[in-house]
Amino acid sequence: MPTRTVGSVPRVLVVVRVWLPDRPGALGQVASRIGAVRGDVLGIEILEVGGGRVIDELVVSIDHLDLVELLITEVGAVDGVSVEHVRPIEGDRADPDLTALAVGAELAEADRSDRPGVLCDGLERVTDASWAVVLRDGEIVEQRGEPPDLAWLRAFLAGSRHLGPGATGDQGAPSDIVWTHLARSGLSAATGRHDRPVHERERQRVALLGRLADTLID
């Protein structure tokens, strides 16, 4: 179980993904509700803003996982706020930007032939994904987990070039998949998860990692 020790007492780390109205004070109200169940907000990431809504991920330390349902109830009681997802995490995964930076360093340090595998592993970690693949000419070079049907994935990636890496479900892209095309090296990479959609900031992070990898992979 992921924990963080406060004094001599271990506490559990969870990520709470919330939808908030884009109004002053909304986040403060959510933090107050988290405090009501002895939760401690350790980090905040803004995933997406638009349409009068903000999607945030809050890294929260709580006493134990039995408090998750109460935490969801408390946060959801704030007017206009809804909880999309709650998941436990390890302490070293609390900051996705640091995780992405670590993946970039691993790509630079790896042997050239190992970099597609490092990219595949890294995309899975950065997006907390269920699966990840790297393909060249429609054939899988590296795979983690169980991706969608290969014929479907080939067709999707071939047709996704006009969408751009930041495309959303409103533009015809599946909300649970994020991808990047590495033009120089001729690779394409995709990753996805089954329990929650991928949002704008996560797509930007994957696109930047793809750009970095493309300069390092022949």
pLDDT in tens, 40-91: 999 999 999 988 999 999 999 999 999 999 999 999 999 999 999 999 987 6
Same fold, 3-93 and 96-216: no
Residue pLDDT, tens place only, 154-206? 999 988 876 655 444 445 567 889 999 999 999 999 999 887 888 888 999 99
Domain coordinates in residue numbering, the chain: 3-93, 96-216
CATH of 96-216, one of 3.40.1390.30, 3.90.1150.10, 3.30.450.40, 2.70.150.10: 3.30.450.40
Q: What's the pLDDT at 10?
A: 64
Q: What is the mean pLDDT of the chain?
A: 88
Q: What is the 3-state secondary structure (H, E, C) of the chain?
A: CCEEEECCEEEEEEEEEEEEECCCCHHHHHHHHHHHCCCEEEEEEEEEEECCEEEEEEEEEECCHHHHHHHHHHHHCCCCCEEEEEEECCHHHCCHHHHHHHHHHHHHHCCHHHHHHHHHHHHHHHCCCCEEEEEECCEEEEEEECCCCHHHHHHHHHHHHHCCCCCCHHHCCCCCEEEEEECCCCEEEEEECCCCCCCHHHHHHHHHHHHHHHHHCC
- 18 pLDDT higher than 90: yes
pLDDT per residue as tens digits for the range 105-164: 999 999 999 999 999 999 999 998 999 999 999 999 999 999 999 999 999 998 887 665
What is the second-level CATH architecture of the domain 3-93? Answer: 2-Layer Sandwich (3.30)
